[in-house]
Structure 1
Amino acid sequence: MSTWVVPGYTESLELGAGASGRVVLAVHADTGVRVAVKYLSDSLRTRPGFVHDFRAEARLLGGLRSLYVAGLYEYVESPQGAAIVMELVDGVSLRTLLSRQGPLGPEAALVLLKGSLLGLADAHRVGVVHRDYKPENVLVETDGSSKLVDFGIAVDAGTSAGVAGTPSYMAPEQWTGAPASCAADVYAATATFFECLTGHKPYSGDNIAELALQHVDAPVPVEEVPAAVRELVRRGLAKEPDRRPAQAEAFVTELEAIAGAAYGADWEERGRARLAALVALLALLLPSARSSRSSTTDTARTVLGQAPRHGWARSWRPGRPGMLVAAAAVLLGLLLTYGMRHASAGAAERTAEAVATTTARAGAEAAPPTSPPTAPTPSGDVSPTPGVSPAPGVSPSGPSATPTAQPSASATGSPTQSTTPSEPASSTSATPTAASSTPPVAPAVKNVAVSAFRQTGTTTSSATITVTTDGSGPISVTVSWFTGTTGGVAGSPDGASQTFERSGATQYTLTVDHTVQNDGCYWTVRATTTPAPASGDASQQILTRQCEIG
């Protein structure tokens, strides 16, 4: 078990553990906000492939906005360890609920299926396939809502990534190593829905080979579920991917029509109330019941803009004392605390977010900030890897024992969080007692690069900026946006530029979102730094999806 602790957080209890690591409940030392921290195990941290997957999981989560997916605060990596800091969901895993309460009833099961499908739909919308949907990876909250977690083996749709997943929920095509598809997630969600209705999995072979044959060839056991939802189960568990709904969003439409016709207009309200009542019976397993609050201090050092989401922390802003402490920390070589934050309702905090040495979710559609955050973020070397990122979790009952068809940094045995932010908890920040009067020297910027620039919506885009320096002194990164009608030309400025101050590391990765304000088929993002980069400014341009250039 790793003894390294993410700087700036105080751990209170372990929520779960598995072969790939552990998930702990922790408190941000300066603000008292509680989070879930997923650590990569020491044995896997020395294996580059697993570290790459762990980074990709964080990066995927950072690019995914959804009320139905546990959110990312930051990714932290140093020579001593790697960790994903994420939203703490105050709930229990669906696996715990099923094992302790048995079948849920049709309305409650439909509510769970709908929430899960909406989370998958948000992932599918950005081209991500979860590949490991199962009861362990669904967390049910105290109000009956649910969140999807653990994107540890998620990949881009169409990727040929081999055989991976949890056998009891794997679609027939997953067993053959076919390219990842959204239809496979629909299959896994339906298999879980079947289990919620009946109390057992749709197929239960005595070994992996028998289980594979059942998923590929055995009839769909629709006669075991209520007649009203048999068509949903038949469609979702169809053997051929093209006979299932191609996207989770389409399946939600079918579900709502069937549920409304069979159980009335208020089916969802009753189902949610049923789930809330069942979770209340397991109140002692909730993270909020397993930790206590204590006094806090107020010297946060990093602003991390997040889209407004219920239950998340309010925004954290560094004050003058926090800046002085951060400067002292750089000179003393200490790893200081990381902050993370939820954006307030103002447009200035909903568009962009940046984290030194990490990728994190940016705000939802809003105008660019007029006064960008300027908080230094210290600590650890990070070598970002291009890709999309995921969100994990751990259930109070511990890691799943379900066999996984292929080992991975976050396959079946990985921790599956059962947590979410409740009220600020504990801890007092340990900060240096002396500050140097000499400011740190700005390092030379060796390189700045723009990657993963893509259109995320009709008027929204996202880009990843990577900056490499030869020292850990302070730098600033300015990101500017342009729109135009001519390829290869930046065009006119679109909204205000965004500037981020960073220090404490030699490599930084910032993921920044932007809502486009002007017309133009070509969108361009440009990144520059102070001091100026030796390799010159970096930019990237895309042709938007709604435009066709003849």
Structure 2
Amino acid sequence: MKNVWTVPGYAHVRELGSGGSGRVVLAVHEATGTPVAVKYLSDRLREDPAFVGEFRAEARLLGGLDTPYVVRLYEYVEGPGGAAIVMELVDGISLRVLLKQAGQADPEAALVVLKGSLLGLAAAHRAGVVHRDYKPENVLVASDGSSKLVDFGIAARRGTTPGVAGTPAYMAPEQWQGRPASPAADVYAATATFFECLTGRKPFAGENFAELAVQHMEAPVPETEAPEPVRPLIRRGLAKAPEQRPENAEAFVAELEGVALAAYGPDWEERGQRKLAALAALLPLLFPSAGAPAAGTTAVATTSIGNSAGWAPGRRGLVAAGAALVLGVLAALTYSASGGEPVGASALNAFATSSASPGGAGPAPAPGPSVSATPSPSPSPSLSPSPSPTPSPSHPPTVTPTTTPPTTKPPTTPPPSPKPTVVVGAVSVTLRETGPSLGQATVTVEAKGTAPVTVVLEWFNGDAEGKLGSPDGSPDTLTYQPGAAAPLVKAHAFSGRGCYWGVRATTKPAAGNGSPTDQVFIRRCTIS
């Protein structure tokens, strides 16, 4: 291609994948001969300042991760001609591709897949990061049978409320409701993936978005479909209430090892890895090292980021790399339950980043191979900005952008911050039916000040217009930050059989107009 900007110091070998968000190429670092994956951001997205800001912020979120189970970032380069991420290269394929070929996996092999990817997730949880999109497409199986978790494209800080996002077939009940991000939701998604490995199907098979939401929130855990020895893991990991699951990936790994040891003996992991390697060996042409033709990248925001030794947030030249902040909104969903497309698929094609490790890479999720992280004995390219002398391959690369984002040095003695205050002028709420048992409330808050506003939503079910009826489930608590333009959106699965659903919004501090309500007459009922 003519007049296409490329990262200096790399020789391109071939394209691995492309899409609306950009393209991924296999390249070689000219100074060391190390193969890498280079993701080039599309010109369209590079011209969006808001996106680029989130693109950088995501790397700061994940930059502290130091684990061989998350892809390593070599370099982020940004200049007048383009922006690119240089990453490790791995010769591997996604778990989705393996399941498509094999249908399901032996319990020992499934346990190995789960453990390997959970170790990457555990590192994220220790750093306060919640993945929010654990699924077979984001689990990589290398040629030796090892497994890794990749793609932190919609990751969020623990405890934040970034909105409803994820892939519906694997989303925890609280994730459907837009509750704060928590490691327990990742445990749920990992268990759903584990169940699919064991049985060849997803734990819940709703034919549409609404059915799937209700099943995840209300249907019994299908543990009896899994082999009996591993049912405790399914039962715990798919528990409806987050407090009934292992609290994080590290705790889940401990339970997994106990169950595996008791059921399959001390050599379970070695046997399972051999079985995985044998399954992967059935698909040699899909490995990046095979030189397969380029395939399209996923249309969904999927980013995997790691960090090389010596790279740390706050270093001079730090630029956020490899991510997009994606917020799915229930009101704007287009979803195919059977296909498992992520929430808000049409809105999520902001950035499809593939990540990788030494040996090769392929485009992100199925049907092609997945470019993802894998540790390797191969030397890492050591990079520094021109015109510096070529560094030694034995030293880790540094993040060296051509364009450095502005930084502000804090004063030696910062002035005391004023105590946050807020006044709530008004609050409004509207309710609409989005499925047979699913409603969605939209809350608008008018407030002045700096302190956050707490919004409590109470749900009701009844048979009379103008009367809220009986409480339906537990109230939900949301947080509104004054100045935010977007309204708060909250989904609720109604359990009552009445024809009128209702909602009441109350703020703390109290709004000037009190606690407004709204009511909707649902479709299953007819007006007599």
Instruction: Indicate the TM-score class for this superposition, using the shorter chain for normalisation.
Output: 0.5 to 0.7
Q: Which amino acid aligns with 1:282?
A: L
Say if 2:444 is the partner of 1:507: no
Q: Deviations over 1:97-149 (max 9, x none)?
A: 11112201100000010111111000000100111111111111111111211
* Counterpart-to-counterpart distance in 1, 2:181 and 2:167: 14
Say if 2:342 is the partner of 1:404: yes
Q: Deviations over 1:175-200 (max 9, x none)?
A: 11111111111111111101111111
Aligned equivalent of 1:218: 219
Aligned equivalent of 1:110: 111
Aligned equivalent of 1:420: 357
Q: Deviations over 1:362-390 (max 9, x none)?
A: xxxxxxxxxxxxxxxxxxxxxx46xx976
Aligned equivalent of 2:254: 253
Deviation of residue 162 (structure 1)?
A: 0.4
Cα pair 1:91 1:418 within 8 Å, conserved: no
Cα pair 1:107 1:267 within 8 Å, conserved: yes
Deviation of residue 229 (structure 1)?
A: 0.7
Aligned equivalent of 2:121: 120
Cα pair 2:63 2:312 within 8 Å, conserved: no
**Paired residue secondary structure (2:26):** strand
Q: Which amino acid aligns with 2:275?
A: R
Q: Which amino acid aligns with 1:12?
A: V
Moved more, 73-82 or 277-286: 73-82
* Counterpart-to-counterpart distance in 2, 1:247 and 1:166: 19
Give the TM-score normalised by the residue count of structure 1: 0.58
Matching of residues 187-266 of structure 1 within 5 Å = 187-266=188-267
Matching of residues 461-540 of structure 1 within 5 Å = 505=402, 507=404
User: What are the ranges of 5 or more consecutive residues in structure 1 without an aligned counterpart?
Assistant: 292-305, 308-341, 343-349, 360-383, 393-399, 424-471, 476-499, 511-534, 542-550
Aligned equivalent of 2:22: 21
Deviation of residue 506 (structure 1)?
A: 5.7
* Counterpart-to-counterpart distance in 2, 1:48 and 1:281: 44
* Counterpart-to-counterpart distance in 1, 2:140 and 2:69: 10
Moved more, 70-79 or 123-132: 70-79
Deviation of residue 153 (structure 1)?
A: 1.0
Q: Deviations over 1:300-350 (max 9, x none)?
A: xxxxxx98xxxxxxxxxxxxxxxxxxxxxxxxxxxxxxxxxx7xxxxxxx5
Two-structure CA RMSD over aligned residues (Å):
3.8
Deviation of residue 217 (structure 1)?
A: 1.1
Deviation of residue 157 (structure 1)?
A: 0.5
Aligned equivalent of 1:9: 10
Q: Which amino acid aligns with 2:359?
A: S
* Counterpart-to-counterpart distance in 2, 1:408 and 1:74: 30
Seen in structure 2, the aligned counterparts of structure 1 residues 502 and 104 have a Cα distance that, compared at 3 Å, is closer
* Counterpart-to-counterpart distance in 2, 1:59 and 1:536: 17
Cα pair 2:75 2:399 within 8 Å, conserved: no
Seen in structure 2, the aligned counterparts of structure 1 residues 216 and 20 have a Cα distance that, compared at 3 Å, is farther
* Counterpart-to-counterpart distance in 2, 1:389 and 1:121: 20
Seen in structure 2, the aligned counterparts of structure 1 residues 173 and 189 have a Cα distance that, compared at 3 Å, is same
Deviation of residue 413 (structure 1)?
A: 8.1
**Paired residue secondary structure (1:417):** coil
Deviation of residue 30 (structure 1)?
A: 2.7
* Counterpart-to-counterpart distance in 2, 1:206 and 1:62: 39
Q: Deviations over 1:136-177 (max 9, x none)?
A: 111111111112111111111011100111111111111111
* Counterpart-to-counterpart distance in 2, 1:148 and 1:358: 27
Give the TM-score normalised by the residue count of structure 2: 0.60
Cα pair 1:152 1:391 within 8 Å, conserved: yes
Seen in structure 2, the aligned counterparts of structure 1 residues 539 and 12 have a Cα distance that, compared at 3 Å, is farther
Cα pair 2:54 2:324 within 8 Å, conserved: no
Q: Deviations over 1:32-67 (max 9, x none)?
A: 211112233333222233222322333344321111
Cα pair 1:93 1:418 within 8 Å, conserved: no
Q: Which amino acid aligns with 1:404?
A: P
Cα pair 1:15 1:418 within 8 Å, conserved: no
* Counterpart-to-counterpart distance in 2, 1:137 and 1:7: 30
Seen in structure 2, the aligned counterparts of structure 1 residues 217 and 25 have a Cα distance that, compared at 3 Å, is same
Seen in structure 2, the aligned counterparts of structure 1 residues 256 and 536 have a Cα distance that, compared at 3 Å, is closer
Seen in structure 2, the aligned counterparts of structure 1 residues 418 and 70 have a Cα distance that, compared at 3 Å, is closer
Aligned equivalent of 1:90: 91
Cα pair 1:77 1:357 within 8 Å, conserved: no
Deviation of residue 8 (structure 1)?
A: 2.3
* Counterpart-to-counterpart distance in 1, 2:400 and 2:68: 32
User: What are the ranges of 5 or more consecutive residues in structure 2 without an aligned counterpart?
Assistant: 293-305, 326-337, 361-384, 389-396, 415-528
